[in-house]
Structure formats: C-alpha cells, structure tokens
C-alpha cells in the first residue's frame, strides 16, 4: 500500500472516531528513538482505543516520529537523547501541534597538568 494512502487512512480512522486530541509520549537515547505511547481522546474527553491495520499503524508512527525529528532542535535520539510529549489538537484546521520536550545533556571535561603536593607545611613528606 502506498505511503500517502496509508497516511490518509490513518487520518480518516482518527476522524471517524471523532478524536479531538492526541497525546504522544516519546523517548530517545543511545542511537534509538521511539514512540512509547499514543493516546486518543474524543470530543467528550473520553480515551478511545483506536485500532489501525499494521501497515497503516506503522505509517502513522513514522509520521509522528518524523514530525518530532523535524521540529525538535536537539538530536533527541542519539547520545543522552531526550523525551517528552507531543500534543495534537484535531479540532483545528490544520491540526495544531505542541511539543513539551526535555533534553538529556551530558558534559565531559578533562583536567590535566595538576600537581599533587605530598609535602606537609613543615617540609616533610606525608
């Protein structure tokens, strides 16, 4: 099945269930990033369990993954990585997206040329 068709089918499934909000939890680190959980909420604020065909679901996950990668200024999948939540408001046209992202940062420092004086103040060695 063609990519564009699978994406259209995913969007149609969401519209058919009257979904108003989508909440996507994601995380990354090492050399991997993933969509951890996707929650759908209908116009009555009820959580809805949406089933998509395997190919359509994979395409939907790829679309979400690419949206994160295209809009987060940090590299959220490599090294220490990052994590967060992406919110999609499906009541707007076009849908509005907000991302609440936390980046994990590690700083490495190297210190050299430090003297370790083993003499006491009286001139004797410890």
**pLDDT tens track for 50-83:** 888 888 888 889 899 999 999 998 888 888 889 9
In tens, the pLDDT along 101-122 reads 999 887 788 999 888 888 888 8
Q: Which domain holds residue 77?
A: 3-103
Judge whether 98 lies within some domain: yes
Judge whether 20 lies within some domain: yes
- CATH number of the domain at 36, please: 3.30.500
Judge whether 123 lies within some domain: no
Judge whether 31 lies within some domain: yes
Judge whether 67 lies within some domain: yes
Rounded Cα distance, 64 and 61, in Å: 5
Residue 54 CB neighbour total at 10 angstroms? 7
State the greatest distance between any 2 C-alpha atoms of the chain, in Å, as a whole number: 85
Please give the pLDDT value at position 119.
84
In tens, the pLDDT along 3-43 reads 788 788 888 889 999 999 999 999 998 888 899 999 999 99
CB 45 within 8 A of CB 91: no
Judge whether 120 lies within some domain: no
Number of structural domains, the chain? Answer: 1
Judge whether 111 lies within some domain: no
DSSP state of 38: E
């Amino acid at each position: 099945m063609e990519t564009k068709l699978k994406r259209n089918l995913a969007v149609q499934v969401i519209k058919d269930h009257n979904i108003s909000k989508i909440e996507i939890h994601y995380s990354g680190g090492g050399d991997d990033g993933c969509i951890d959980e996707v929650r759908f909420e209908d116009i009555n604020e009820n959580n809805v369990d949406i089933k998509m065909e395997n190919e359509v679901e994979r395409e939907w996950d790829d679309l979400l993954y690419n949206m994160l990668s295209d809009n987060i200024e940090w590299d959220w999948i490599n090294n220490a990585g990052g994590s967060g939540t992406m919110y999609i408001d499906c009541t707007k046209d076009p849908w509005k997206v907000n991302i609440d992202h936390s980046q994990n940062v590690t700083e490495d420092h190297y210190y050299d040329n430090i003297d370790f004086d083993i003499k006491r103040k009286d001139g004797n060695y410890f």
